[in-house]
Amino acid sequence: MLTHNACLALGRRLTLLLLLVTSLLLAGQALAQSAGTEGELATAVPPVDAEIWRQVKSGENFIDTRHDSTYNLVNPSGETWRQIRNRWVSPFGLIAVGGMAALILMFYLIVGRKDLQEPRSGRKLLRWSTLERALHWTVATLFVVLALTGLNLLYGKFVFNPLLGDAVWAAMMSGTKLLHNYLGPIFGFLLIVILAKFLKKNIPDKTDWEWFKKGGGLIGKEHVDAHFANGGEKAWFWLLATAGVLVIASGLVMDFPNYGQSRDTMQWANVIHSLGALALTAVSLGHIYIGTIGTEGALEGMTTGYVDETWAKEHHNLWYEEVKDQAVTPDPSTEGHHKGQATHPPGTPG
């Protein structure tokens, strides 16, 4: 009769034997399934050789899971887009934006700020209403954010990735992409609003040609005639109305790819969007310079809404003749010129 210890030892041996037999059976089944799968793959998927890749590239053999897609797995147009972006778009941006910045710096160092030739009169003319200034600064702020994020998307990997490392740069690019994609449509809508509002004041006329012939007053000593908007301001308006609208439209094509755009359409939209945005960014540097440190009295018009009579005479004399009877003298006891204290003649906006 077996003792208690002998029974325990026999039980352990039987348990180990059972586990061994079970493991062998499972391993055999797995090997059989693997062999069956490999055999199935061998018959279902032919060897991937040069002939297969030739068929893929030509479109005879392709895999594309998108609905109703007719694109082959290797898409030559993608390589064409990459070459255009790297060989043409990126260098164009560096030349346009960098070149414009360098020219403005040289101009400022050589020529300097354009100061008023006569003393200020102290009398003010309303040039921009509160609504117009709010529109301008909102659109301008969005434009700057979109320009910076767009430049980061195009050149950021060459500048910030080596400086900040992969983790920080990846987070930065993620935020950049979100800002660019979500603020773009808002900018587009407001730009259309501001173009419609100022359209009437930016219709070209013969005085604009004379303005350009005299370089906006840089050539010769005479003042150049100008209405509410001079030739340069009108040129900037129509650049926004053409290239700006094109940038908006191409941006929306990329922002909403779920409306059935083809891959080729998306690629060309990217090229058009990049070229137009880079051109606008370059020209905007000149617009910003002239409207801030480049011209005395220009910035205060867009910050307070008012310009001095002397500024109006020297820069927009034809407009000044139309509105000179609306000039006001601010209350000297009020800081910031005329904040709520100037009395506007009847019929003038306040």
**270-304: pLDDT as tens digits:** 999 999 999 999 999 999 999 999 999 999 999 99
What mean pLDDT, rounded, does the chain reach? 82
User: What CA–CA distance (Å, rounded) separates 320 from 350?
Assistant: 18
**66-83: pLDDT as tens digits:** 545 555 555 677 888 889
Give the residue, 45 or 339, on which the prediction is more confident.
Answer: 45
Q: Does residue 258 belong to any structural domain of this protein? A: yes
Q: How many CA atoms lie within 13 A of 150 on its CB side?
A: 28
Which amino acid is residue 38, in one-letter code? E
What CATH number is associated with residue 291? 1.20.950.20
- Domain count within the chain: 2
| Letter string b/e over residues 218-255, b meaning 16 or more CB atoms within 10 A of that residue's CB | eeeeeebbbbbbbbbbbbbbbbbbebbebbbebbebbe
25 plus 120 within the same structural domain:
no
Phi-psi domain of 131 (left: phi exceeds 0; alpha: psi -120 through 50; beta: other): alpha
Q: Does residue 319 belong to any structural domain of this protein? A: yes
Q: How confident is the model at residue 341 (pLDDT cuts 50, 70, 90)?
A: very low
Beta bridge partners of 306: 126
Q: Does residue 341 belong to any structural domain of this protein? A: no
Q: Does residue 84 belong to any structural domain of this protein? A: yes
32 plus 87 within the same structural domain:
no
Give the residue, 112 or 71, on which the prediction is more confident.
Answer: 112
Q: Does residue 337 belong to any structural domain of this protein? A: no
165 plus 246 within the same structural domain:
yes
Average pLDDT over residues 51-62: 64
202 plus 295 within the same structural domain:
yes
Write out the residue range of the structural domain in which residue 26 sits: 4-45
Q: Is the pLDDT of residue 14 over 80?
A: no
Q: Is the pLDDT of residue 63 over 60?
A: no
| Cα end-to-end span (Å), the chain | 116
110 plus 167 within the same structural domain:
yes
How much is the pTM? 0.75
